[in-house]
Structure 1
C-alpha cells in the first residue's frame, strides 16, 4: 500500500511510543522528533511506500538512542501472558474443531494486546465473543482447498503474543500433511516476532523457522534477503498475518501464488483498501 494522509498521525504516534520505550532523555526525544519531521517532510507523498517509511523512522530512533530493541520487555511479557491462556483457548476451540475457528483464534491473537492484560481481564469472554463474530471476508473454504492441494506452506507471522495463538492454527494446518516454513523478522522492529521470540514459545515444533533478512515494519520487498526471496518464490501457498504484511505484499505481484491474509483491520486506510469496517476480522485470498 501507498501512504494515505491518515498515516501521518500514526507515524508520529508510533514514534512517540517507541521513543518513550527507548530513552528517558527529553532533549534527545525532541532532537529525534525534529529529524523525523524533516524526514517526513521530504518523503510523505502519494507514491511513498508506507512500510518502508515506518521502518526508516524506527531505524532513526534505534540508531539515535542506541536502543536496538525498544519493545523487548513488552515482547517477552506478551508471549508470557499468551502462553498462560493457551490451555484455556484450546479448551474453547475443541468444542468446535473447525478450520474457521482456528483461523478466528489466529486473528483474535492479532486483536488482543497481551501486554495490557491484568489479572482481572476476562480473556475467556473476549475470545468467546470474537468466536461468535463473523469473518467480514471469509475465504476459509478456499484456504482448506489450498491446504489439501499443496504439500508445503510459508507462514509469515506478525507480533509476539499472537504467535502463541498462531500455534493452534499451525497445528491444524499441519494435520493436512503440510511441510510448514515459518518466517520471522531478522532484527527487532516494534513488537514483531524475531527468532528468539518464536523459539521461546516453541514455534519450531510446527515447522522450520527462517528469517526474512530484514527488520522492517511488515514486508518490504526491497529489503528481504536473497535467501528468503528464494524461499518466498519457491512457495505457492502462503499465509500472511497482520496489517504490515498486507501493506507490503499488496505492493508486489503475487498472482502466481495462493496467498491468504489473516488480520483484524485496525486502521482506516486498510479498512478502505479492503472494503471493510474498523475491527473487522478478515481471511482474504489474493486475486
Structure 2
C-alpha cells in the first residue's frame, strides 16, 4: 500500500510522542523534530513505503535520545497482561475441536493487534483487553478459507507484530502446529515502537510454539524484503502460506503482491486503525480483518 497524504502528519506526530516521552529540553526537541520532518520528506520523495520511512525516523529517535528500546516497559506490561488473559482463553477453548479453536484464536489474535503506539490518533490501554477480546468481531472474515489453507500447508511463515499481541499469536501457533505445519516466526531484529524483537521473543518463549524464530533484518513495522536476511527469504520461498499481522505488514506485503514480488498466499490479520488502511481494505476504521489474498500468475 502506497502512502497517502494523511500518512505524512501521522509519520511525524508519532515521533513527537516519542520525544515527549524521552526528552525534556525543548530546543533539543525542536532540532530533533526538524530532522524527523526532513527524514519523512526525503523518504516519501524517494518513493519509500510508510513502514520504511517510519523505520528510519525511529532509528534516528533511538540515536538522538540514546535510548535503545524506548517502549521496553510498555512491552513488558503488554506481555504480562496478555499472559494472564491467555490462561483464561486456553481454559475456555479446551472443549472445542481444533478447527474451531483455530478460528476463535484467529479472532483473538486480531483483537490482540489493538495494542499499538504507532498511530497518531489512536490509543489503547492493554488493561482494557479483556472487555475488547469479548466484544471484538470481524468485519472481513476469511477464517474458513484460511483454516482450509492451513490444513493443506506444510510450512507457514508467521510475521509477528506487537508485544502483548504476540502472546495471543503463541496460542494460535500452538493450535496450528496440531494440524501438522512447520512454523517459522519472524520478529523484528531491532527495537521499533512496541513491536516484538528477538530479545522479546526469547523472554516470552516464542520458540516453544515455533520451529524457528528469525529476525526480519530490520526494525521496520512490516517485512522489508530488501533488508531481510537470506534465511528469511528462503523461508518465504519455501512456505505454503504467510500469516501477516498488523498494519505495517499489510502496507509492505500488499505492495509486494501488487508488484509480483510475493506470490505466496497471504493471510492478513489486523485491525484497520487508520483511514488509509481501512479504505485500502474496503472496511471502516477500527474494523477487525481476516483477509486471505491468493496471487494470480
Q: TM-score, normalised by structure 2?
A: 0.88
Gap change, CA 1:205 and 1:41, over 3 Å in 2: closer
Q: How far does residue 243 in structure 1 lie from its aligned partner after superposition?
A: 0.7
In angstroms, what is the RMSD of aligned CA positions? Answer: 2.1
Gap change, CA 1:112 and 1:64, over 3 Å in 2: closer
8 A Cα contact 2:154 2:240, kept in partner? no
Gap change, CA 1:209 and 1:111, over 3 Å in 2: same
Q: How far does residue 139 in structure 1 lie from its aligned partner after superposition?
A: 1.5
- CA–CA distance in structure 1, aligned partners of residues 29 and 115 of structure 2: 29
**1:72 and 2:72 are equivalent in the alignment:** yes
Aligned to 1:285: 292
8 A Cα contact 2:18 2:61, kept in partner? yes
Q: How far does residue 226 in structure 1 lie from its aligned partner after superposition?
A: 2.2
Matches within 5 A, 1:1-287: 1-45=1-45, 47-94=47-94, 98=100, 99-112=102-115, 116-118=125-127, 121=128, 123-130=129-136, 133=137, 135-207=138-210, 208-252=212-256, 253=260, 256-287=263-294
**After the TM superposition, which of the residue ranges 41-50 and 7-16 deviates more from structure 2?**
41-50
Q: Gaps (5+ residues) in structure 2?
A: 117-122
Q: How far does residue 109 in structure 1 lie from its aligned partner after superposition?
A: 0.6
- CA–CA distance in structure 2, aligned partners of residues 202 and 66 of structure 1: 28
- CA–CA distance in structure 2, aligned partners of residues 57 and 248 of structure 1: 17
Q: How far does residue 46 in structure 1 lie from its aligned partner after superposition?
A: 9.5
* Residues 188-231 of structure 1, C-alpha deviations (whole Å, 9 max, x = no match): 11111011211222211111211111111222222212222122
**After the TM superposition, which of the residue ranges 89-98 and 246-255 deviates more from structure 2?**
89-98
- CA–CA distance in structure 1, aligned partners of residues 56 and 46 of structure 2: 17
- CA–CA distance in structure 1, aligned partners of residues 51 and 147 of structure 2: 30
8 A Cα contact 1:263 1:282, kept in partner? yes
- CA–CA distance in structure 1, aligned partners of residues 48 and 124 of structure 2: 32
Q: How far does residue 256 in structure 1 lie from its aligned partner after superposition?
A: 3.0
- CA–CA distance in structure 2, aligned partners of residues 92 and 221 of structure 1: 39
Give the SS at the match of 1:279.
coil
* Residues 154-188 of structure 1, C-alpha deviations (whole Å, 9 max, x = no match): 11100001001111111111110111111111111
- CA–CA distance in structure 2, aligned partners of residues 8 and 20 of structure 1: 19
Q: Gaps (5+ residues) in structure 1?
A: none
Displaced runs of 4 or more, over 6 A: none
